[in-house]
Structure 1
Amino acid sequence: MTYEIERRLRTGQVAERAGVNVQTLRYYERRGLIAEPQRSPGGHRTYPPDTVTLLVVIKAAQRLGFTLDEVAELLETGRRGHPSADLRERAEAKLAEIERRIADLATIRDALNQVVAARCDSLTHCTCADCPLPYAELAEEQTR
């Protein structure tokens, strides 16, 4: 057995080290996000150690708001070694989307800060004097 074969990881090892489940690992294989694994003499899937790093990068990109399609495009661009012609345009569109999400999150944060300050105790039957959230009014309008 060569050193390279000894260093390869089995499915469960890769999944555990990357913090994903085995189904996620196989799904990413089907999507082409990670290379199809080699097989051991016993027929087990085996992966190079850098597969763990790739999976961690994919999951981090998802947490940051990238879709799997976007991740696949970025990985493909990296594998080709040269950017695609529309990379700048896509990056600008993603930045605009992120700015919109940040604005939405800031709005939610501000509203929740007002709820905490007003000591609201219910979203539908709030008893505070000046509820910053109009949920009670919205509920009444829907029942009419």
Structure 2
Amino acid sequence: MSKTIGEISKESGIGVETIRFYEREGLIPKPPRRSSGYRSFPVETVRRLRFIRRAREHGFTLGEIRQLLELRVKTGDSLDDMKGMVQDKLDNVRSRIDELNRLVSVLEELAAAVKKKQPTNDCPILEAFDGLD
């Protein structure tokens, strides 16, 4: 049984234009066309689109998702490769959290440095940004 792009969009929770983009990018196989010219997607496409959506929700880029999809059909060391990709992503997320925590501290300090009724030409926030390199 095959499905239209609208049907797989509804079932996967991914917009029609995004599905077309994924098709152009090779993340989902190009489906055959019906005599009407409409795409005729195999039902497995919904599963693949859900996989892509969930991977995106977990912070994976389309390039990383492409690698995961390739590893899915590969034999051998693919589990180690997948674990490595997830570990790399985890390290990246932890690094971003550290950066954001540093940013929170800096912004809190800047906000605390501003006094009420202080003239804007004597603003510690503007001075800090002028001095940051």
CA contact (8 A) 2:9 2:19 kept: yes
Tell me the alpha carbon deviations over residues 45-98 of structure 1, each in whole angstroms, 9 at most, x when there is no partner. 011233223212212212222111110000111022444497154443323212
2:55 equivalent to 1:61 = yes
For residues 97-112 of structure 1, what are the structure 2 equivalents within 5 Å? Answer: 97-108=92-103
Instruction: Return the offset for 1:44.
Output: 1.2
For the aligned residue pairs, the C-alpha RMSD in angstroms reads: 3.4
The equivalences for 1:42-53 within 5 A come to: 42-53=36-47
Letter in 2 for 1:45: R
Deviation by residue 1:2-54 (Cα, 9 ceiling, x = unmatched): xx2xxx21112222332332221122112221111122232210112332232
Per the alignment, residue 22 of structure 2 pairs with 28
SS where residue 103 of structure 1 aligns?
helix
Q: Which amino acid in structure 2 is aligned with residue 65 of structure 1?
A: G
C-alpha contact 1:126 1:136 (8 A) present in aligned 2: no
Q: Which residue of 2 aligns with 1:131?
A: none
After superposition, the Cα gap between the structure-2 partners of 1:50 and 1:127, relative to the gap in structure 1 and judged at 3 Å, is farther
Return the alpha-carbon distance in structure 2 between the equivalents of residues 18 and 109 of structure 1: 36
In the TM superposition, 1:1-144 aligns within 5 A as 4=1, 8-84=2-78, 87=81, 88-108=83-103, 126-127=114-115, 135-141=125-131
2:56 counterpart SS class: helix
Choose between structure 1 and 2: higher helix proportion. 2
Amino acid of the residue matched to residue 9 of structure 1? K
Which ranges of structure 1 fall in alignment gaps of 5 or more residues? 129-133
Q: For the Cα contact (< 8 Å) 2:8–2:45, is it kept in 1?
A: yes
AA of the residue aligned to 2:51? V
Structure 1: how far apart are the matches of 2:79 and 2:13? 34
Q: Which has the higher contact order (CA 8 A, sep 6+)?
A: 2
- Taking structure 2 as the reference length, the TM-score comes to 0.68
Compared with structure 1, are the counterparts of its residues 35 and 82 closer, same or farther at alpha carbon in structure 2 (3 Å cutoff)? farther
Identity across matched positions, percent: 32
State whether residues 31 and 40 of structure 2, in contact with CA within 8 Å, keep that contact through their aligned partners in structure 1: yes
Separation in 1 of the partners of 2:31 and 2:16? 13
Gaps of 5+ in 2: 117-123
